[in-house]
Structure 1
Amino acid sequence: MMARVAVFALTLLAVVTPPVLGARDGDSEDVVLERFREYLRITSVHPSPDYAATTRLLLAHASSISLQSRVLEYVEGKPLVLLTWVGREPQLPSVLLNSHTDVVPAEKAKWLHPPFDAHMDEAGNIFARGSQDMKCVGMQYLEALRVLKNSGFQPLRTLHVTFVPDEEIGGHDGMGKFVASPLFQELNVGVVLDEGIASPDSHYRVFNGERSPWWFIIKSVGSPAHGSKLFDNSAMENLMKSLEPIMRYRQSQFDLVKAGLAAQGEVVSVNPVYLKAGTPTPTGFVMNLQPSEAEAGFDMRVSPLTDPNMLESRLKNEWAPASRNMTYSFKQKEPLLNKKGLPLITAVDESNPWWPLLQAAISEAGGKLGKPEIFPAATDCRYLRHEGIPAFGFSPMVNTPVLLHDHNEFINKGEYLKGIDVYVHIIRKFLAFEGGHSDMASRAEL
């Protein structure tokens, strides 16, 4: 379905109660932090995220720093905000900064402070759902652009900033549909920055690939029987025979991580998430009846370093063999290869001109960059890498515990403010890059 595109006029923005915008030079730290905390207070949480409120806030900020803005709805009620700063040479491949506006639920009773109050304690820790994942990054983009605009910087390349919905539930109605649209092709994107993970030490983490979700269900069938009867190939027996090799494989992958031979993003994780069998009644399960069906669901995350054909062969022949009256199906199965048949990994060598630019920018900002990693979960970067576009996962948080999706998620105000400066260096470096069209050569071959 063609996107509904809304270009918000000043009359619409005038009815918005704006945040503390302060587009002048010299905004105090308190003003900058309050803009962030206001974003955190919006309950854009599943299953009913308040996307209308995030959209109003983001458009108000865009207006305050003179960014072009469009709102796209590929699915009704799920707005994607697209902001643009046109460069002096707009024919050059553009830079895209992406973040998502949705967050996962939080168990309020298990938090020190209400998860949508954006409480800041005496140590400067800001507690809120989304403070790490990833409202911090989205607002840091805008604050960095505010600094660059106020400094008089004029970009060579065009910059686009996207705030997308639904990343936490797969991104299919957000980034997935956006990348498949004709409008996205017109943007001529040359490189993408998206979310990363906090670093407990002093090195920033950067991700050049990620594991693909393969969520699968195995199901076994057999004859029903009295609970006392012993017979071969019951549904439960066959399911249990499958659980054993799956858990052995899980342990073999985990052993590599424990031994320091591989990072989590480099192995396959497979975890059981539900078991379903038995004959239920209003007062419990029937105990003297062996069921005729049994099934189990698994969340499997597959590294781009994995041979997908060998893994599916294992699933078909060992974990759910037809010889034991078993079947398997996928709830979600993301590709491991891009359109050219290559792994979904962004190059971090001389073949990718954006990589040394990123390294130099972080160094100039006074930061230290760790070894590139495979992201252990899934992000919207996978949609871009599938198109052959270089994409880096990066969230500027060091000396910070990893708390995405955890209780008491927080970011310290010092790390948040420092991250803005890091993005100032990165964005300036990327937008001043004179690499011409050669940096898009590999994508043009796809």
Structure 2
Amino acid sequence: MVDDEQAMSRAEREVVDLCRELIAIDTSNYGDHSGPGEREAAEYVATKLDEVGVESRIYESHPGRSSVVGRIAGLDPTRPPLLLHGHLDVVPADAADWTHPPFAAEIADGCVWGRGAVDMKDMDAMILAVLRQRMREGRRPPRDIVLAFLADEEAGGTWGAQWLVDQHPELFADCTEAISEVGGFSLTINQDRRLYLIETAEKGIAWLRLTARGKAGHGSMVNDDNAVTELAEAVARLGRHTFPVQLTKAVRELLEEICQEFDIPFDEDDIESVVARLGPIANMIGATLRHSINPTVLNGGYKANVIPGTATAEVDGRFLPGMEEEFFAEIDRLLGPKVTREFIHHLPAVETGFEGGIVTAMTDALQAEDPGARTVPYCMSGGTDAKSFQRLGIRNFGFAPLRLPPELDFAGMFHGVDERVPVESLRFGVRVLDRFIDLS
């Protein structure tokens, strides 16, 4: 009898090593120009593609901020290409907080551990493993595939996807659909049923700098025009504000499916009780029920006995698709007339429908590997490089397929400690992606 290891495809065996090697390259993104490791990671990817005959080019938006773009010819050149994209950078990690060193890429308890294991060097590795095997075997995809491994996603994509879309839109101009991260992962309902959440929407991003101006003076004097006081009150209003629940199409469809699976009524007046049933991903889905605004940085003054003339704060705002105007109207009401705002970073919301041949391909590929799979759309509370590619009219989906153990807090590992991905989930993802490419 052939053992399990021998029965695996080469891609299934290779994906674990690819994931570990990518994690071992420290591509921490500190939000500045430095981008340590991104050039090394880009060269690694380009080499892996070159080994199997895929031509690619490294694009550098700023010294060290490197992205890789390549293209594989499909069987039908009349069809628009499919874009597969992933980012190479990761958020920083403090090794003192981790069970295993964040860049050691160790295998323990059946998982690959390390920063980027789920965000998103797992998907980068799956894409590479699948396409390397297909190229070795001479299996061309049904249509052209455009590959993009990108810099700077963790700081908004300024030096990665945004720069490429601005400076080299011709690389993606004929693409109509794209898949990338934060979708396709399983939510276990019971032993025989798993929902696979496909990202079809993302909240928009508004990182804002707030400024209050007042009358500077000596700290011992009475001052009724104190910038710090004005700012503090505005920040408190924002931080304590709860926006009303507003169900977008993707969120409504997800929650209706969940109610059906749990055989409970869909009660729009008590929707948060439905979300509470989702276990580890409840926080992530709960954040898509409404707009949000969170104070993150406060600055004001330079000496205890000096009242400053200005004080500033920074806040992280996220708005629902199709509701940006009303979000900012409420922010301005809460700030009041004496506090101004400016953008640190402003990216649009993303939304597409859960229909079409690409959705059918995702569903069929998943069900072929997991007969208990059911695909559902969802809205992501964070942001991805989909925000940049949307500007070119590309439909974006989060589809990095992983069948996960029910007890794994997958959502909590994004930007968290002890990030890890099960080895078997990586191999599952390889099989699904390979089928998906054939069906898409």
Contact 1:96 1:192 (C-alpha < 8 Å) held by counterparts: yes
Q: Please say if 1:41 is aligned against 2:54.
A: no
**What's the CA shift string for 1:272-291, capped at 9, x where partnerless?**
101122333xxxxx1x4443
- CA 1:315–1:134 in 2, change beyond 3 Å: closer, same or farther? same
SS at match of 1:391: strand
Match for 2:342 among 309, 329, 333? 329
2:120 corresponds to which residue?
134
Q: Which sits farther off after the overlay, 210-219 or 235-244?
A: 235-244
Distance 1:184 1:301 in 2: 30
1:383 partner letter: S
Could you tell which deviates more after superposition, 237-246 or 95-104?
237-246
Aligned to 1:72: 59
Contact 2:15 2:426 in 1 (8 A): no
Q: Which residue of 2 aligns with 1:82?
A: 69
- Select 1:146's aligned residue among 118, 123, 132: 132
Question: 1:353 matched to which residue of 2?
Answer: 357
Alpha-carbon distance between aligned partners in 2 of 1:32 and 1:293, rounded to the nearest angstrom: 53
Cα distance in 2 between the residues matched to 1:105 and 1:43: 9
In 2, the alpha carbon distance for the partners of 1:39 and 1:186 equals 25
Q: Tell me which moved more, 205-214 or 132-141.
A: 205-214
Q: Choose 106-115 or 41-50, whichever is displaced more.
A: 41-50
Moved more, 217-226 or 96-105: 217-226
Which residue number in structure 2 is paired with residue 421 of structure 1? 431
CA distance in 2, matches of 1:277, 1:74: 34
When residues 68 and 224 of structure 1 are mapped into structure 2, their CA distance, relative to the original with a 3 A threshold, is closer
Mapped contact 1:266–1:374 kept (Cα < 8 A) = no
1:250-283 deviations in whole A, cap 9, x for unaligned?
4656998745477422421211101122333xxx
**Whole-angstrom CA distance in 1 between matches of 2:229 and 2:154:** 36
Is 1:110 the counterpart of 2:93? The answer is no
* Mean CA deviation greater in 361-370 or 59-68: 361-370
Give the corresponding residue for 2:259.
none
Q: Go from structure 1 to structure 2 and tell me whether the alpha carbon gap of 1:187 and 1:310 turns closer, same or farther (over 3 Å shift).
A: closer
Residue number in structure 2 paired with 1:304: 321
User: How far apart are 1:84 and its partner, in Å?
Assistant: 1.7
**Residue 54 in 1 paired to residue 64 in 2?**
no
- Per the TM alignment, residue 385 of structure 1 is displaced from its structure 2 partner at its CA by 1.9
Q: 1:71 to 1:290 in 2, by over 3 A?
A: closer
| Amino acid of the structure 1 residue aligned with 2:357 | P
Query: What is the CA distance between 1:129 and its match in structure 2?
Result: 0.6
User: Greater shift after overlay, 58-67 or 220-229?
Assistant: 220-229
Deviation of 1:241 after TM superposition, in Å, equals: 3.1
Q: CA deviation at 1:147?
A: 3.6
Q: Residues 207-248 of structure 1: CA distance to partner in whole angstroms, max 9, x if unpaired?
A: 111112101122212223554655534323322332343134
Relative to structure 1, the CA distance from residue 256 to residue 69 in structure 2 (aligned partners, 3 Å threshold; closer, same or farther) is farther
Q: Say yes or no: does 1:247 pair with 2:239.
A: yes
Structure-1 separation of matches of 2:107 and 2:352? 37
Q: Which residue of 1 aligns with 2:278?
A: none
Q: What is aligned with 2:409?
A: 401
Q: Which residue of structure 1 lines up, in the alignment, with residue 380 of structure 2?
A: 375
- Residues 28 and 150 of structure 1: is their aligned pair in 2 closer, same or farther, counting only changes over 3 Å? closer
User: Partners in 2 of 1:309 and 1:183 — Cα distance?
Assistant: 28
* 2:10 counterpart of 1:27: yes
Query: What TM-score do you get using the length of structure 2 for normalisation?
Result: 0.80
Contact 1:253–1:269 (CA<8 Å) still a contact in 2? no
- The 2-side partners of 1:405 and 1:357 are apart by 30
SS in 1 for 2:112: strand
- Greater CA drift, 250-259 or 84-93: 250-259
> Which residues in structure 2 correspond to 1:182-197 (within 5 Å)?
182=168, 184=170, 187-196=173-182
Q: Do structure 1's residue 294 and structure 2's residue 300 form an aligned pair?
A: no
Instruction: Specify the code of the residue in structure 2 equivalent to 1:59.
Output: A
Change in Cα spacing, 1:314 to 1:32, as seen in structure 2 (3 Å) is: closer
Cα distance in structure 2, aligned partners of 1:265 and 1:365: 29
For the Cα contact (< 8 Å) 2:43–2:58, is it kept in 1?
A: no
Q: Secondary structure at the match of 2:367?
A: helix
Contact 2:12 2:431 in 1 (8 A): no
Q: State the partner residue of 2:301.
A: 278
Question: 1:386 corresponds to which residue?
Answer: 391
Provide the rounded CA distance (Å) in 2 between the counterparts of 1:289 and 1:59.
Answer: 56
Structure 1 residues 147 and 266: CA distance shift in structure 2, 3 A: farther
| SS across alignment from 2:389 | helix
Cα distance in 2 between the residues matched to 1:263 and 1:32: 33
Picking from 220, 229, 233, the partner of 1:237 is 229
1:92 alignment counterpart: 79
Work out whether residues 75 and 141 of structure 2, in 8 Å CA contact, stay in contact via their aligned partners in 1: yes
- When residues 31 and 422 of structure 1 are mapped into structure 2, their CA distance, relative to the original with a 3 A threshold, is closer
| Displacement after TM superposition at 1:152 (Å) | 4.5
**Count of residues paired in the alignment:** 386
Q: Which moved further from structure 2: 191-200 or 420-429?
A: 191-200
Q: Which amino acid aligns with 2:296?
A: V
Q: 1:292 to 1:96 in 2, by over 3 A?
A: same
Tell me if the contact between 1:214 and 1:333 (Cα under 8 Å) persists in the aligned partners: yes
